[in-house]
């Protein structure tokens, strides 16, 4: 039997799957100089903020399970899938951290791998199946001679081949249509990220070496290397570093100064930093306004509400749809012929101001979209008597047709 085949091996299984680490599958020395990998990339403030924004937002969204076909669907709270996907995917994680880890895998590696731990078959209740996120750096997708997929897991000197049905693979965006694996954006845009890392390192070196007197010291007459080294060391001690910035220098014995350096403004450092931030936002596919970035040459001023709507629909929409479809296509989670399906609740993160929400509820109730109790439920308020009827006629003095007919019949 394999390492994960029996329930008695659950301790070894958790040991194998524990210890979430940032994947280090794509290290690369960029042309600009810096070493590009996941850790360095996330160390960039814009990249780190974009990654946290995407993954934490997905983690915040409840993943509910519904029964039926739209528009006539109901929440399937009694289904075991509801418990595993919306509350506790495994005994060690909440749904929030689980889906955040899944999103992190996709964003950094281009793929997410979920181990399906079965206690027994067939699945009959919520206790039969647990879901664990595997570090993508430990998973290698391969094909046998017949072209069938399988996975090779490598961890702590161990290696095991497992069938494709044992792991739920969520593939990210791929360059080649029909590819088995998604592509890591860190790998794809390593040169752009390397340039951003180089700009950050340049800033650090700029302040470390001083900001006001770059150039050459000239000394008349011959001088030996020992004297030059000593003079340079004394000059660096008095004028190097941020604490000595703009400190006046003094030269004697006919020594002179030739300025050859550039200021940060001359080097257009601020513009370079802004451009790098915009590039990272494009790479991570995050609306710049959500990261506090105002495009320098667009001339457009957008509101926070517009930025969030664009982020939710254009940026997050494809991401959550990818996860939903991968879950739906897994036969162990949603068997063929069933009437259950998963869906992220985007409304959970769309929380406008109280005034905007109340206005939207009024419009929805008057248009017959929501009942009063449905609106109250969204505000975590208890239902009220008579609040379950939909408004049937336009508001403006006209009565609710259903209520009016009911009163007349009485």
Angle between helices 190-208 and 269-284 (to 10 degrees): 150
336's tokens? 């063929």
Distance CA 223, CA 255 (A): 12
Strands 28-29 and 35-36: antiparallel
- Cβ atoms of 133 and 112 within 8 Å: the answer is yes
> Burial, 108: exposed, middle or buried (Cβ in 10 Å; 0-12, 13-18, 19+)?
buried
Q: Would you state the pLDDT for residue 111? A: 96
φ, ψ of residue 109 to 5 degrees: the values are: -105, -20
- Cβ atoms of 186 and 106 within 8 Å: the answer is no
- Cβ atoms of 216 and 257 within 8 Å: the answer is yes
| Measured CA distances, 404 to 112, 287, 407, 409 (Å) | 55, 49, 5, 9
Distance CA 279, CA 48 (A): 13
φ, ψ of residue 259 to 5 degrees: the values are: -80, 130
- Cβ atoms of 52 and 105 within 8 Å: the answer is no
Residue 62 CA neighbour count, 13 Å, CB half: 14
Residue 388 CB coordination number (10 Å): 11
**24 vs 216, which has greater pLDDT?**
216
Cα angle 181-182-183, degrees, rounded to a multiple of 5 = 120
Distance CA 315, CA 308 (A): 10
Chain Cα centroid distance, residue 325: 18
Distance CA 390, CA 373 (A): 10
pLDDT tens digits for range 250-286: 666 666 666 655 555 555 666 777 788 889 999 999 9
Distance CA 103, CA 60 (A): 12
Do you find a cis peptide bond into 389, omega within 30 degrees of 0? no
**12 vs 44, which has greater pLDDT?**
44
Do you find a cis peptide bond into 71, omega within 30 degrees of 0? yes
Asked if the model's pLDDT at residue 59 lies above 90, the reply is yes
Range in 194-203, 282-291, 299-308, 360-369 the model is least confident about: 299-308
pLDDT tens digits for range 327-354: 999 999 999 888 999 999 987 776 666 7
| Measured CA distances, 385 to 28, 74, 359, 382, 402 (Å) | 65, 22, 22, 10, 16
Q: Would you state the pLDDT for residue 308? A: 83
The pTM score is 0.72
- Cβ atoms of 154 and 138 within 8 Å: the answer is yes
- Cβ atoms of 387 and 398 within 8 Å: the answer is no
Residue 280 CB coordination number (10 Å): 25
pLDDT tens digits for range 83-127: 999 999 999 999 999 999 999 999 999 999 999 998 654 444 444
Q: Would you state the pLDDT for residue 76? A: 93
Distance CA 4, CA 126 (A): 19
Asked if the model's pLDDT at residue 399 lies above 60, the reply is no
Q: How many residues does the chain have?
A: 410
Q: Would you state the pLDDT for residue 325? A: 97
**256 vs 72, which has greater pLDDT?**
72
DSSP 385: T
Asked if the model's pLDDT at residue 361 lies above 80, the reply is yes
Distance CA 1, CA 240 (A): 65
């Amino acid at each position: 039997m394999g390492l994960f085949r029996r329930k008695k091996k659950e301790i070894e299984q958790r040991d194998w799957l524990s210890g979430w680490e940032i994947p280090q599958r794509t290290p690369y020395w960029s042309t600009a100089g810096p070493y590009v990998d996941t850790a360095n990339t996330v160390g960039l403030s814009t990249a780190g903020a974009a990654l946290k924004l995407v993954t934490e937002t997905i983690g915040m969204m409840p993943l509910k399970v519904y029964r039926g076909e739209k528009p006539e669907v109901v929440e399937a709270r009694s289904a075991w899938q509801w418990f595993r996907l919306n509350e506790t995917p495994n005994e060690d994680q909440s749904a929030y951290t689980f889906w955040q880890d899944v999103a992190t895998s996709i964003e950094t590696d281009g793929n997410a791998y979920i181990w399906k731990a079965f206690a027994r078959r067939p699945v009959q209740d919520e206790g039969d199946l647990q879901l664990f996120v595997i570090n993508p750096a430990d998973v290698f997708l391969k094909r046998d001679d017949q072209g069938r997929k399988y996975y090779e897991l490598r961890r702590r000197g161990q290696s095991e081949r497992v069938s494709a049905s044992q792991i739920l693979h969520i593939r990210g965006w791929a360059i080649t249509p029909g590819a088995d694996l998604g592509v890591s954006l860190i790998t794809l845009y390593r040169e752009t990220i390397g340039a951003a890392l180089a700009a950050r390192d340049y800033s650090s070196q700029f302040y470390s070496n001083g900001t006001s007197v770059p150039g050459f010291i000239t000394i008349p007459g011959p001088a030996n290397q020992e004297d030059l080294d000593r003079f340079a060391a004394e000059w660096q001690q008095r004028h190097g570093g941020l604490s000595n910035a703009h400190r006046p220098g003094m030269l004697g014995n006919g020594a002179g100064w030739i300025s050859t350096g550039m200021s940060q403004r001359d080097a257009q450092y601020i513009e370079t930093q802004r451009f790098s931030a915009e590039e990272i936002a494009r790479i991570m596919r995050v609306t710049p306004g959500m990261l506090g970035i105002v495009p320098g040459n667009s001339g457009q001023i957008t509101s926070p509400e517009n930025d969030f709507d664009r982020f939710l629909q254009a940026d997050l929409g494809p991401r959550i749809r990818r996860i939903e479809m991968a879950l739906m296509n897994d036969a162990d989670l949603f068997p063929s012929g069933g009437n259950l399906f998963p869906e992220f609740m985007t409304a959970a993160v769309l929380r406008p101001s109280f005034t905007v929400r109340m206005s939207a509820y009024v419009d929805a109730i008057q248009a017959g979209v929501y009942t009063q109790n449905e609106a109250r439920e969204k505000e975590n308020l208890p239902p009220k008597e008579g609040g379950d009827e939909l408004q049937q006629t336009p508001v403006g003095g006209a009565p609710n047709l259903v209520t009016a007919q009911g009163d007349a019949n009485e």
